[in-house]
Amino acid sequence: MFASHGEPVAQSLDDILAGDAELPLGSDLGLAVEGWLAHLIAERGQSAATREAYERDTRQFLSFLKSHLGHPPCLQDLERLDARTIRAFLASRRKAGVTSRSLARSLSALRTFFRWLEREETLKNRAVLQVAAPKIPHSIPKPLTVAGAGALVEHDGGGAAEWIVARDTAVLLLLYGAGLRISEALSLTPGTAPINGRDIMHIKGKGGKERLVPALPIVSDAIAAYIRLCPHALAAGEPLFRGARGGPLSPRLIQLAMEKLRLELGLPDTATPHALRHSFATHLLSAGADLRQIQELLGHASLSTTQVYTEVNRDRLLAVYDQAHPRAARR
């Protein structure tokens, strides 16, 4: 099993510490960390990606703590930990160029770990709660225009093999035509893809949240075209989308394909695979879709997450307001 950045997912204490044989931990803390990581998926239902991110954050914190204390940390060290030390850790990460968003996630991981230690009656130390999370700059999605999104999914591939062009088109249409995350699109199998009369996809998204997503005929047709052309055997329970050698398609290859298309079509740097998901939501909102419906299609746990698209589409919302409100004509 591998993490998203290509490193093995930690299965032991040494792995948690980036494979550093010179950085062992006291056995009590080692067992606690391994128990917490197992708990994240087994009981909390966290996705593998979240677990891997928290794992890396914990590894970095324990590495910092070893250097800070001058000896391998143990549970007793965590019990005595103060807020100043945690702030020093975040400051060291900031100095290394880590973004506010990543720092906030690191702090979230530590809070989760310490809360779990308290619930398990292993130790109680709430110093981490005294540390304020870094402010994350407010940003809104940067969707493509309707024309730009259309150009991406209709591009002829610029000389690439026909089946690869068909594959990339099918993936991009799943992002723009169904609003899937790239990880969700690449997790489809021939048994779950919207083909052979199926027009609904059962998607398991972030945090194990499940949702039903309808597939437009153009999306189903694109997937069927890819399957007809694909030179590799596609078993029902195996990944639908394959790389050139037949292995599961890497998200990085879709990102690279987007980079190439950006240059060829003159699209902005913000035209990424995830921008197609943003475009899906924004264009639906522009066409009059209900925000709750978009929330369900995107798989957002909270409507507040979906409401960010209203900022993208403020002009349209004001126009609807002008047309619908009885007093609007007097503004």
Are both 225 and 80 inside the same structural domain? Answer: no
What is the block-wise mean pLDDT of the chain (331 residues), using blocks of 10 residues? 34 42 59 88 72 88 92 91 95 91 91 94 94 78 86 80 93 94 93 90 84 92 95 92 93 92 88 90 85 86 76 61 61 45
Are both 121 and 158 inside the same structural domain? Answer: no
Give the active site residues. 181, 206, 274, 277, 300, 309
Are both 232 and 180 inside the same structural domain? Answer: yes
pLDDT of residue 228: 95
Is 304 a member of any domain? yes
Are both 198 and 300 inside the same structural domain? Answer: yes
DSSP letter for each residue of 52-119: HHHHHHHHHHHHHHHHHHTS---HHHHHH--HHHHHHHHHHHHHTT--HHHHHHHHHHHHHHHHHHHH
**By residue range, what is the domain housing residue 285?**
146-322
Cα radius of gyration rounded to whole Å, the chain:
23
pTM of the model: 0.65
pLDDT of residue 84: 95
Q: Angle, to 10 degrees, between the axis of helix 251-265 and the axis of helix 273-286?
A: 70
Burial 247-260 (b: 16+ CB within 10 A, else e): eebebebbeebbee
Q: Output the domain CATH number for residue 285.
A: 1.10.443.10
Are both 109 and 202 inside the same structural domain? Answer: no
Which of 130, 162, 197 terminates a domain? The answer is: 130
Q: Output the domain CATH number for residue 118.
A: 1.10.150.130
Are both 95 and 168 inside the same structural domain? Answer: no
pLDDT of residue 13: 43
Is 8 a member of any domain? no
Is 328 a member of any domain? no
pLDDT of residue 313: 63
Are both 294 and 255 inside the same structural domain? Answer: yes
pLDDT of residue 248: 93
Is 141 a member of any domain? no
The structural domain count of the chain equals 2
One-letter identity of residue 58: T
Q: Write out the two tokens for 69.
A: 């204390």
